[in-house]
Structures are given as C-alpha cells and as structure tokens.
Amino acid sequence: MTVIAIAGGLGDVAPRPGATAREVPTGLPLPVEIDYSVVSAVSETLKQLQADTVISTLNLHWPGASESQINLIRGAAASGVVSGFLPSEFNIDYNASEEYGIVPSQSGSPITICMPTVDMPYPPRGEFLRAREELDRHPNLTYSLIRNGYFMDYLGMPYVESYLHPLYNILDLAAYKAVIPGDGDVPVVWTHTKDVAKFVTALVGIPADQWHQKTFVWCGHCRNFPQSLDHPWNTFCLFDETYLSRLGCGLGAITQIIR
C-alpha cells in the first residue's frame, strides 16, 4: 500500500480530488502535527507513518515556510522510507535565465518572454530554487517539479470555486476590466487547481523512479487573451481592456485595476 504524506494539504492547494481547504476529506486520516524546526522529528514522523511519498504544498510566501520545506526534505531523506518527493512548486519555471525567461516557439527558435525572472509575479524566486538545490543533495530522493503555470482559478475570482487566496491579475470580473500583457496574441493555457490535483494523484500512482524531473501540467484549451475574454460569461457585458507593451512588462511596469 502506498502511503502519501501531504505537507500543508489543508491549505490553498490540496493536491487530491475532493480535498478542500481546512477540512479533511472523508476517508482520509486525521492531520498529523509536525515540528518542522526539528529535522529528526520530521524524519521520525515520516518513518512512523511509513510514508514512501511526500507532497509539499506549503505556501512559500509565508515567513518560515521555505525553511520548513528544507527541513521536510532533509527529514524525508533521513527517514529511510521516503523515495519520492514533490516540492511546493505548482507554478512557473523559476529555473529560467536570471534576466529573462527563454522559451522555444512553435518554429523551434527561442523567443524571449518579457517578464524578468528576477521580478517574477510569484516571489520569492530564490525560495523555490532553494528546494531544488536541497533535493539535489539527497540522491535517495526522486523528485519532480510540477509546472502548471498560472492557475485558471484566478481568472474567475471572486465567482469561481477555489480555495486560493484572491488575486486579481490580468482579469477582474467584478470590475469588468482586463490588463493584457503584450498584444494579446500569444497563446496561453490556464489550468484549474482541481485539474492539477487530479494530475498529481495520477503521478504519485507511478513509481517514483519513473518520474521526470520536470512535469508539465496543461489541462486546458490553448487560447490567446482575447479568446479567453470571449467566453459565455461575457455574453452580456464588455470588458474595459488595457494592453501593456512587452517593453513595459520587461521594465516591470504595472497597470493598476481600479474599480
């Protein structure tokens, strides 16, 4: 039997279908408290649980969360029972160039995205990189970095069912306003947290030694920004659209959505 330990699984991102924030889904054991400041306590708890896979969903924006994840990695490595580890990524690729993210286009030639990775939309970048560096120090742990990009949930707030903290970036439905980066023609994929949860559940069903070091989750349709706005919810309203140039993005310029 596979035993999976989910650190922070009752928070914003609960990587299991049916799991919701701050409540324990039916059929799952009660939460176990761990003192993340003591590596030996983390290791002993994982050993007692006989956990062979650890999924970290700790919110690295909170003070001390990054250090807790580092100790979780060390405890998992020292437990002698954990073989697979998914760090709290569920995000964009923070291992891109320090100046600009370089991504391949459909033609195969590289293109430069406008957002400098030193000032990415989900700081702190260094805390995410720290986790990978720590995982590389423990060859007995197989890990995979989940890349799902920008959560679709944020495009539907405050109306969509989600347990993420509210963030109005690009689109504000309540205000009927949208701030679109570039000319809006670049195709993007939005993935809902529930789809990510289903994917992660399937991933941990595969032996850890078969994981890829990076796992990309794209569960939605590939659309550009105008197509994303041309949705059934927009039948009876028009959005006030503002376009932010690539140069403006690169310089860190912002356009504030004012209701």
Confidence band (pLDDT; 50, 70, 90) for 120? low
What pLDDT sits at residue 78?
98
Across all residues in the chain, what is the average pLDDT?
Answer: 77
The crossing angle, in degrees rounded to 10, of helices 65-79 and 39-49 is 50
> Rounded to an integer, what distance in angstroms lies between the CA atom of residue 72 and that of residue 41?
10
Cβ atoms of residues 115 and 250 within 8 Å: yes
Q: Is pLDDT at 106 greater than 60 in this prediction?
A: no
> Rounded to an integer, what distance in angstroms lies between the CA atom of residue 74 and that of residue 46?
11
Confidence band (pLDDT; 50, 70, 90) for 252? low
Token code pair at residue 229? 């706005």
pLDDT in tens, 27-47: 567 788 899 999 999 999 999
DSSP alpha helix (H) spans, the chain? 39-49, 65-79, 125-136, 153-156, 193-203, 225-229, 246-250
Provide the percentage of residues in the chain whose pLDDT is more than 90: 30
Q: Which CATH superfamily is domain 4-151+189-220 in?
A: NAD(P)-binding Rossmann-like Domain (3.40.50.720)
pLDDT in tens, 49-59: 999 999 999 98
Give the pLDDT mean for 227-255. Answer: 66
pTM: 0.78
Greater model confidence, 207 or 12: 207
Q: Is pLDDT at 100 greater than 50 in this prediction?
A: no
pLDDT in tens, 140-170: 999 999 988 888 888 888 888 888 888 877 7
